[in-house]
Amino acid sequence: MKMFAVSVAAVFLVSLGGLACGDTPRMGGPMKHIMVMYDDMMQTLMAHVDESVPTPELKNYGETYDPPADVLNGTWYNAQYGWMVEGFWTPPGSSHIWIEQISATPGLSVYSGGTMMNQGTFAPICGTNGSAPAFSWSGTMLHNWYAVRRGGQFEATYRVYFGDVNGVPLEGYGEAEVTINWTSNAPSCPADLAEPWGVLNFFDVQAFLNAFSAHLPAADLADPQGVFDFFDVQAFLNSFSAGCP
């Protein structure tokens, strides 16, 4: 009887421990699939995004995640985009399907995901933290995690191709290219133009000066739009001295 009481207490303590664990990262909305198919007549891959689901929003839920999902802590993130195979096909020969991030809005981080039943390893991929730009995809549904630390519009462009085990493209096959995008509802901070995101320092000043002299939209912070003048400098200085929210 005493043993029984002890084990009940132990189970109770274990369940309390369970409650104290971190939150579970959320997909952020309905799945939005990137359908990848292979046209074997044309020997080319093709990819298209399910446009019936609206543009996903990168969000912060004020939650705390345990490792390995702690890479999302303090970020605005989303995992609605999922790579999916359309139709029935297999890669030619013994090749693999590779997905390479060829460009992305600065500040977008990508972490390895899963099917949502299994949330993945959260390892940095697609150039995040110095990782390789490409990864080999098994062809099963894959929802990676996309995270940012500031507001605004974000996009990433990928090429999907057949390659060998090292990612060297297979000759004679066409590749697919697809762009996906998000909006971030993080507070905007117009002066935060360079890493580290969420912090205003010399790198932001340097990035502003570079963008200003190159007439890039990042430095066009004040009306009249398309004109780079004193008002843009003033807007930058105001935002910089106000600090990031």
* Residue among 150, 140, 148, 133 nearest 28 (CA): 148
> Which CB atom, from 82 or from 91, has the smaller least distance to Cu ion?
82
Cis before residue 30, ω within 30 degrees of 0?
Answer: no
Q: Which of 28, 56, 82, 91 binds Cu ion (CB under 5 A)?
A: 82
String of b and e for 189-210 (b: at least 16 CB within 10 Å)? bbbbbbeebbebeeebbebbee
31 vs 49, which CB is nearer to Cu ion?
A: 31
According to CB under 5 A, which residues from 189 to 208 bind Cu ion? none
**Site stretch for Cu ion (CB under 5 A), options 50-58, 104-112, 133-141, 202-210:** 133-141
Extract the tokens encoding 49: 């995004």
State the Cα–Cα distance between residues 200 and 8, nearest whole angstrom.
Answer: 53
Does 35 engage in binding with Cu ion (CB under 5 A)? no
The piece of 66-74, 77-85, 126-134, 213-221 that touches Cu ion (CB under 5 A) is 77-85
Q: Residue 163 interacts with Cu ion (CB under 5 A)? A: no
Residue closer to Cu ion by CB (options 30, 106) is 30
* Cβ-based nearer residue to Cu ion, 50 or 164: 50
Question: Given candidates 31, 35, 123, 218, which one binds Cu ion under the rule CB under 5 A?
Answer: 31
Three-class secondary structure of residue 65 per DSSP? strand
Per rule CB under 5 A, is residue 141 in the interface with Cu ion?
yes
Which two tokens mark 114?
């899963």
E strand or H helix that includes residue 233:
helix 230-242
Residues that bind Cu ion (CB under 5 A): 31, 82, 141
